[in-house]
Every structure is written in structure tokens, then in C-alpha cells.
């Protein structure tokens, strides 16, 4: 991988193939992250439904859900960037079509 500017500068330079490969890796990572977040979110939702709100640990479950939501937004941004960079259309939404 050539990471130096051919003109002698210090700016990194990636070939088109290297950039596409990096974007594809990012896209796969985002999908893997989404899969893990689905597990965290699902079990947290189940806990929240089962726990009485007056328990001190109830707010911890809410924090986990908020954190998972923030991570989900990052993963979605990564997926959107990957689709934009590679020209791939987003998959259809569940239940539509």
C-alpha cells in the first residue's frame, strides 16, 4: 500500500482499489456492529419490561439502551457512507415493498 504522496509530500495517498477495499471493510464492520447491537438492545428491552421502574438498576438499563442507540446511529452513518461511496442503493426497509 502506497501511503505517501508521489510528489514527495506527506499527504496519504490510497489507490482507488485500496479505498474501495477500506470502504467495504467499514461496511462489513458496520453490519457486524449492528448485529451485536441488536442483541444488546433486545435483551435490554426485555429487562426494562421485566424490571420494576423503582429499582435503581432500571436506570442502568435505560443508559445501556441510550448507548446502544448512539452506536446504532454511528453504524447507520457508516453504512450510508459505504453505500454513497460505492454507489450502492440502500436495501429496502423491512415491511416495505
The Cα angle at residue 36 between residues 34 and 38, in degrees rounded to 5 = 70
Note whether 65 and 39 are within 8 A (CB): no
In a domain, 9, yes or no: no
Tally of domains within the chain: 1
What is the structure's pLDDT at 81?
A: 86
Q: Is the predicted pLDDT of residue 57 greater than 80, yes or no?
A: yes
Read off the pLDDT band of 10 (50, 70, 90): low
Note whether 10 and 44 are within 8 A (CB): no
In a domain, 76, yes or no: yes
Instruction: State how far the alpha carbon of 11 is from the alpha carbons of 7, 14, 22, 26, 28, in Å.
Output: 9, 10, 18, 22, 27
Higher pLDDT residue, 87 or 34?
34
In a domain, 97, yes or no: no
pLDDT digits (tens, 9 = 90+) for 64-75: 999 999 999 999
In a domain, 66, yes or no: yes
Domain that holds residue 48: 17-86
Please give the model's pTM, rounded to 2 decimal places. Answer: 0.67
Amino acid at each position: 500500500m502506497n501511503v505517501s504522496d508521489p510528489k514527495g509530500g506527506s499527504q496519504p495517498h490510497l489507490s482507488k482499489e485500496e479505498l474501495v477495499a477500506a470502504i467495504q471493510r467499514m461496511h462489513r464492520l458496520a453490519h457486524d456492529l449492528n448485529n451485536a447491537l441488536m442483541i444488546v438492545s433486545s435483551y435490554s428491552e426485555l429487562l426494562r419490561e421485566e424490571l420494576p421502574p423503582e429499582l435503581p438498576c432500571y436506570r442502568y438499563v435505560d443508559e445501556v439502551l441510550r448507548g446502544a442507540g448512539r452506536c446504532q446511529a454511528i453504524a447507520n452513518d457508516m453504512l450510508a457512507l459505504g453505500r454513497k461511496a460505492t454507489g450502492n442503493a440502500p436495501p429496502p426497509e423491512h415491511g416495505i415493498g
